[in-house]
Structure 1
Amino acid sequence: MTSTSSLDLVVRALADGPVDVRDVTTPRANEAHCRISPADVKGLGDIVCRDLGAELILMAGDDLRKEASAFFVHYLFANRTANWFLHASTRLDGAEPELPSLAPYHYPASRFEREMRDQFGIAVPGHPNPRPLVKHGFWPEGYYPLRKDAITGAFGDDGQPFPFTSVGGEGIYEIPVGPVHAGVIEPGHFRFSVMGETIIDMKSRLYFTHKGTEKLFEGRQPLDGVELSERVSGDTSVGHALAYCQAVEAAAGADVPPRARLLRVILLELERLYNHIADVGAIVNDTGFAVAHAHCFRIRERMLRLNKRFTGSRLLRGVLAPGGLARDLAVPVDLSSQVEAAVADFDEIVTICLNNTLVVDRLEGTGVLNPELAKDYGVLG
């Protein structure tokens, strides 16, 4: 079934369903857009996720009080198998924005809703976990940074403990980790409740270095946004920059030349490879196999130097642009052979790891994520 015929089924399901769906448009072959009331959000989620097999992959707030005296919340549902997207938007009161929580029925909505409450001041009654997500105790009262009229006030510690859930019982220990860590990584506080090696519960507190990237995008010219998107996450420069470029291209109806599309795929794969190699190294290092970790980072360095030869940047920056590429790239004649050699080197390290009983004993049966749970939690990647 093509994405076009699948989208026809989506549009018909919306028209025939019990939800009041308005202003349905299909600007592209695999996209549908519509408007709904806040009261119909759950009904739409049931139709799209339960009946049509889609997943909620994004929620975002928008402050349009100056233009429309309202806030808007946007939902993006996707069916990756059938390759279609549904974007639904709902209008909220500009003075006292309130949105019924979708989180009790669709778990991926949970963090999106908490973030919108912290950033926009949108109340979400019925949320099963109303703790702050982005907001820390140092934020001034009534400060919502993504509102257009947000004014940064004085920050100060309110002296109140963060509302972690305590787990008690015989043999249960609480282990705090962070927010300052031994490595050069972003700070995060994790509170583990454990019984032996079994983790009963874990609560995290992140966003210690939240920098308001969304706000930094406001007012920029489309070309100027690429540099910022490359720095959302340093080792995913291509991934974030490409997502930004594709959003601009979709909004402008721009086509990307075939050569640029091909080179974008090569850049994505180079980025995926060096990250994958580094991640495996970090995993085996956590089991105590430091030698394999060192070899993985040796291979990663090899890939970064290849990136430098190919693009002039170890992290593949400064290449992408809306509409294609910022400049053409001369593909090194040995690019393929160099990648194949690095992958063969990596495969050898993986074989050594899998033959090491220390590594296998620590990893087998640990962190198993079955498909049903992954789908319920909206796991991506």
Structure 2
Amino acid sequence: MKRHQLTFLMLLTFISGANAQTLTGKLGSPNNFNKVIDSAKVNFKMIGTEQSGDLNKSSVLNSSLGLSAKGSIFQNTEVIFDGSLYFSSGSTSSVYDNNRLTERNGTSLKNAYIHYNYQDLLSLKAGAINQREQENLIVVGRKAFLGAKETLSFNLFDLKVTMNATQTRARSESSKEGLGNLDEGSPLFMRESISLETINDYIGLKVIVGHFAYDNLSNDVAYNSQFHGNTVSGYTKTNSEFDYNYVGWDYKLEASASLNHNLSVGAGVSYVINQGAPDSKNRGSALIGSTKYTSGDWTYKVTYNKLNIQSDTAPALYLNMAQTPNTTSDSLELTALNISSDFELRLFYQNSKPLEQNFYQDNNQIIQLELRKGYEIF
């Protein structure tokens, strides 16, 4: 653990310390403020969710006001921020008090990090980094983990090669979606990956192979994860422990094709193997198909997702609700985006059921309607 903390501190020192005088020069005058902030945008979002099941029911309206900004602080270095304030109303019921669809009031932090980029060859990030960048939601969800990420990217013939390494302090949803307090036990999430991607405007192909590991997971995370499919021993927040470790491999294949200037299709498959659990409990898969149509300023997209996630593929509290372990599910998502007005409409439906019957999980249906409007500040 000390090795990863040292890596994180060295990255911060390298990125921010070496050119401190340049930053001071930029901020020396109030008139230079807009030269530092390259872009900023306010997002207003409303999400209505209806959940039906035998054990869990929910009817919630979440509203949020978000701010995203990007600013250059010195050569090749920028600061990225994306956060929101949440306001909610509605009702939730749960037999075992384990419903993840609840009212949300407070703050949400998606990203807050320093990014150093040298000629699109070497990229270094340090801070609160959203793990959506890992590109495999069966391994880890869209959560901001405090840590560092290093990326090396280059072209090889007609292929783009990207190598990533991530070292973070994992954070569960016990502090909602904001950065909040780190979980007890100094939990760690690490992942290394390599991807090959074709450079083509009409037909795209991308292959990703990754290795992941969770370590030092806390009793509290284990206790709460047992309600969402994981195999856990113990009955309290102080003595619960995961029965298995979480270290393994993940694979992803994506393909896309442009049928004409307006229409494109895509397909993908993800596969995860947790080597720390037995074969009957350690695998997860996702099949994805999509169609995208563009007309003027509008882009319409339909996405179908088939998930099959065994009980101990990954720790439940570090995944999104849609990727809950010990479930099989079908989902359909419809989106409409107007580029000129930055308006987006999203409709999502998921029907899931447990792979293995237990006390805490049952058949579940979720319908979400989301509206988002963005306003550019500068």
TM normalised by structure 2 equals 0.31
Instruction: Return the structure number with greater strand share.
Output: 2
Instruction: Return the structure number with greater helix share.
Output: 1
Which entry has the higher C-alpha Rg, 1 or 2?
A: 1
TM normalised by structure 1 equals 0.31
